[in-house]
């Protein structure tokens, strides 16, 4: 499974609780500087590959696919592209609702959040479960299907 996400220094506020009668004050900034993180999870054994890129283009996607291939040169890699835009995931609060001075600072925090996915395979497998995707990834095809139709 593969996806990419944009992150940046422009604050986005979400609802939050506060004491009745008091005003909640959140840190905020309006810097228009951002970058992207590409990620892929290995659905059979677990694990992941991540890469920071300045933008989303076909060339950057190709470079990321090459990084995936280099992670295990002997393996046959199947990458599932969802074709969708960006997605909100629970747990983003580790990074959202905060002000970062630089892209390096936010990349450090993103790396901290992603580290369990490449260091502990159980985290990557927990996103996929033991359902159809895991079963299909382990299936041996009856015959080879060429890329071109």
Per the listing, tokens 């933008």 go with 55
Query: Residue 6 is part of which domain span?
Result: 2-13+26-138
> Quick check: is 145 in a domain?
no
Tally of domains within the chain: 1
Q: What is the pLDDT of residue 69?
A: 92
Q: What is the pLDDT of residue 139?
A: 57
pLDDT in tens, 22-43: 888 888 888 888 899 999 988 7
> Quick check: is 18 in a domain?
no
> Quick check: is 41 in a domain?
yes
pLDDT in tens, 93-119: 667 678 888 999 989 998 998 888 888
> Quick check: is 148 in a domain?
no
Measure CA 128 to chain center. 14
Residue 108 phi/psi, 5-degree rounding, is -65, -40
Mean pLDDT of 47-59: 88
Q: What is the pLDDT of residue 87?
A: 39
> Quick check: is 147 in a domain?
no
pLDDT in tens, 54-90: 988 888 888 998 999 998 888 888 777 765 443 344 5
108 vs 144, residue with greater confidence: 108
Per-residue b/e over 18-33, b at no fewer than 16 CB within 10 Å?
eeeeeeeeeeeeeeee
> Quick check: is 55 in a domain?
yes
Q: What is the pLDDT of residue 51?
A: 92
């Amino acid at each position: 499974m593969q996806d990419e996400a944009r992150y940046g220094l422009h604050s986005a506020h979400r609802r939050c609780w506060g004491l009745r009668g008091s005003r909640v004050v959140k840190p905020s900034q309006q810097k228009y500087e951002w970058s992207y993180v590409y990620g892929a999870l290995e659905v059979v054994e677990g694990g992941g590959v991540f890469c920071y890129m300045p933008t989303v283009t076909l060339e950057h996607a190709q470079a990321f696919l090459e990084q995936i291939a280099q992670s295990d040169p002997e393996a046959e890699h199947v990458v599932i592209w969802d074709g969708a835009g960006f997605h909100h995931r629970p747990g983003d609060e580790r990074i959202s609702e905060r002000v970062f001075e630089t892209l390096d600072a936010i990349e450090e925090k993103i790396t901290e959040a992603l580290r369990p996915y490449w260091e502990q395979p159980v985290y990557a497998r927990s996103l996929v479960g033991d359902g159809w995707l895991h079963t299909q990834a382990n299936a041996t095809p009856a015959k080879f299907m060429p890329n071109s139709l």
